[in-house]
Structure 1
């Protein structure tokens, strides 16, 4: 039993060290704002994502809830939009469906800042093959103008303006 506790503490120290390195690296990045919500829980983060200028989300400020598992980075974080968004790869609860967040596609070398950059890229280039919201995906595939107009309307209505 004591051996298990020792192993758990060693793993926790390693996880905490990795998270602290990521926090420091994000602090050096001017385009990404993310970090722990409070002083006492390094496993719960919030990120701010600015809508890319070449997308219908331009001008919007979107918030992401990031939950790191206890065995991060061996397991992917859970990332959800807390800002309502009209997107074929984001469900009504804000869950983002993209391959790097899938447990089968996850690799521990991916960092939180890389994930946030990939989510930003997903706003400019939705993946029509992953349908979190089938109705939105159908509109995206068949009527791009309608999709972009609705996404702009939702950005204006729900995303905090800069």
Structure 2
């Protein structure tokens, strides 16, 4: 059974120093502490800089003795992250996990992975090949994906609502969906399309 007291404590600690780390973790719904949404900022000096990346976190029954299951909800172009599913290739999310680690340390490790790709141990072979064979194109593609998927649009809320309503979604549904994803237009669209 998931240790929910520990999860509560971890959420509190993680969000307490949000101003410093930029890392945030929230329950996806009030009723379920085993399904969380993490947010990490793209590291400075990388093609991910300026992006805000959402990570879907599912805690297995054995947490903290089993690693959290994490995958990117934001599309990202990186050798160790699947461009299709968002799956992450990172040892501490598999066999190197320890109960001494926390959600925050796991998210910091994911953030560090964005800074230091390991193309020789890829999750996405296509991206890894591009990284190794055509680095400038890799950098351009990673930057483009960051701008397209990880940067909150500079549109105001009303502009976002109007844009989504013009796509045929009801106004009230658009507003509640935007609110549930912190105004992230791309995530709102994904939710509306999958709902």
TM over 0.5: yes
Q: How does 1:85-124 map to 2 (within 5 A)?
A: 85-91=76-82, 92-102=84-94, 104-124=95-115
**Conserved 8 A contact 1:98-1:130:** no
CA drift of 1:80 comes to 0.7
Alignment partner, residue 155 of structure 1: 146
Between the aligned partners of 2:120 and 2:143, the Cα distance in structure 1 is 22
Alignment partner, residue 15 of structure 2: 27
Match of 1:42, SS state, is strand
**Conserved 8 A contact 1:82-1:94:** yes
Q: How does 1:1-162 map to 2 (within 5 A)?
A: 15-30=3-18, 31=21, 32-91=23-82, 92-102=84-94, 104-161=95-152
Q: CA RMSD in A?
A: 1.4
**Conserved 8 A contact 1:50-1:61:** yes
Between the aligned partners of 2:151 and 2:38, the Cα distance in structure 1 is 14
Where relative contact order (Cα < 8 A, 6+ residues apart) is larger, the structure is: 1
Aligned residues: 149
Between the aligned partners of 1:22 and 1:41, the Cα distance in structure 2 is 15
Between the aligned partners of 1:78 and 1:146, the Cα distance in structure 2 is 31
Unaligned runs of 5+ in 1: 1-10
CA drift of 1:161 comes to 3.0
User: Which segments of structure 1 move beyond 4 Å, counting only runs of 4 or more?
Assistant: none
Unaligned runs of 5+ in 2: 154-195
Match of 1:43, SS state, is strand
